[in-house]
Chain A
Amino acid sequence: MAQILEYLSYPFVRYAVIVGVLIALCSSLLGVTLVLKRFSFIGDGLSHVAFGAVAAAAAMKLTDQTVLVLPVTVLSAVLLLRTGKRAKVKGDAMIAMISVSALALGYLLMHLFPVSGNVSGDVCTTLFGSTSILTLTAADVRLCAWLSAAVLVLFVLFYHRIFAVTFDEDFSQATGMRADRYNMLIAVLVAAVVVLAMNLVGSLLISALVIFPALSAMRLFRSFLSVTVCSAVLSVVCAVLGMAVSILAGTPVGATVVAVDAAAFLVCYVIGAVRGV
């Protein structure tokens, strides 16, 4: 305990905790909708696109990578959503193709335009976020806070409409809601969260952050509100726990957080099975 308090006196640890909690919160809120709408693939596809964008930004020697990464990811979110809905045949193959191309292109760029002498180390950091969360600047934290605040406010304001569109898109649209706009809103919010989460867990592990808390919460609760709240709480607790463990044990942050999320899912699964949900 004393050790943790000591660590918390370092600003970079405090930054990491703040950003980690915010990311965990935002990703879990959207995760419920994504899982229920069978949109999980979008989170996964976007994380690969974001990796490619980060590599491109690094190759272009941009000081502020978000300027490129955020718009590219948002645009891809819109495209992925379109493809996933329209193309009945091979829609999923299309998405796999886009995401895997982004991944390959990113790796290629990192090789052609190395930022440091250690290319595989850079790749590993981008994919698994090994240390980037501990190198955040105050500006990073501010950006993260603004983006999360935007995600939270939009989510709360549109909560009932997001529920309606998630539960039954046709009905919502028939009663005058522009369901496609809400799908777009969801996709854009997810893109923002993916870009944020790159810092915490790196691009390969983002899906876990989005999906695990929602799936865990669904094992335990039966109303949309309680699933959403539980998912958020669980996600934040797992993120804090994971970061504490990783700092104390010196394990990679992203992988530890995801491991804790996975363990939480197992626990929820067993509790759910015992209670017979």
Chain B
Amino acid sequence: MALIKCENLTLGYEGRPVVTGLNFEVNEGDYVCIVGENGSGKSTLMKAILGLVQPLSGQIIFGDGLTQNQVGYLPQLTDNQRDFPATVREVVYSGCIAGMGRRPFFGRREKEIAKNAMERMGILDLAKRSYRDLSGGQQQRVLLARALCAARKILLLDEPVSGLDPKATIEMYDAIDRLNAEGVAILMISHDILAATIKASHILHLGRETFFGTTAEYEASRTGREFMAAP
């Protein structure tokens, strides 16, 4: 069974649809890229999967024992956080709260999860640094580590490389690749169609026409050819 399956999903705000009749699924180990023009509803879809936006119609089904609070999420960067006084450790630990039930304080289990996540993202040496003093690439890796603390099997990434310099972009893609190789399914919004077709196993295209299929199918499709040819 699929980790996440969307059936005939229509999304929008205040009754006004943004995405209509969407069907796709994400299976264990998949690497799905969501592409499409600005305003086509990519972030909205992600928020719907996370339960932040209610679907107008249709269904989002979680399978394979996945529950909604086991989805890791890397949001688009917001300005609010740029001057926030918090250490890397504090930010990463906050990803563990979902798994704590009603316990008020972190225990040994959370310490291990957080340490493991920081290790995998290569930020263990930054633990005591202030989040706001880090470079954009480092900040993204901190947020990815936080997402890992919450996630079991799947990560949702909203434009993880936007605003990063080329070196940080490559590092970020490598980190995501490693996680995917370890068996974590990836659902990523990307502006970079070239990188998407290189990295992804499946492509979900939102826009006037929606498309969902393997990357090879997408490259052969009319939607895909037109979108990739556009400047």
Contacts and interface: CB of A to CB of B under 8 A. Distances in A.
B74 to A, nearest CB: 9
Nearest to B85: A227
A168 B72 CA distance: 13
Interface string B90-120: 1101110110000011100000000000000
Contacts, number: 84
Nearest to A32: B85
A157 B97 CA distance: 13
B132 A222 contact: yes
Given A157-B104, A164-B97, A167-B81, A173 B52 contact: yes
A81 B90 CA distance: 26
Interface residues of A, number: 28
Given A171-B73, A171-B75, A222-B132, A160 B93 contact: yes
Contact of A222 (B81, B105, B133): B133
Contacts of A176: 68-69, 98
A171 B85 contact: no
A167 to B, nearest CB: 6
Interface of B: 47, 50-52, 68-69, 71, 73, 75, 78, 80-81, 84-87, 90-91, 93-95, 97-98, 104-106, 130, 132-133, 146-147, 150
A223 B90 contact: yes
Given A160-B93, A170-B52, A224 B71 contact: no
Contact of A175 (B73, B84, B93, B130): B73
A36 B75 contact: no
A170 B71 CA distance: 13
11 contacts: A163-B86, A167-B84, A170-B47, A174-B51, A175-B73, A176-B98, A221-B85, A223-B130, A224-B84, A225-B90, A227-B85
A224 B81 CA distance: 12
A170 to B, nearest CB: 5
A160 B103 CA distance: 10
B94 A164 contact: yes
A5 B146 CA distance: 52
A174 B133 CA distance: 26
A160 B104 CA distance: 7
B114 to A, nearest CB: 12
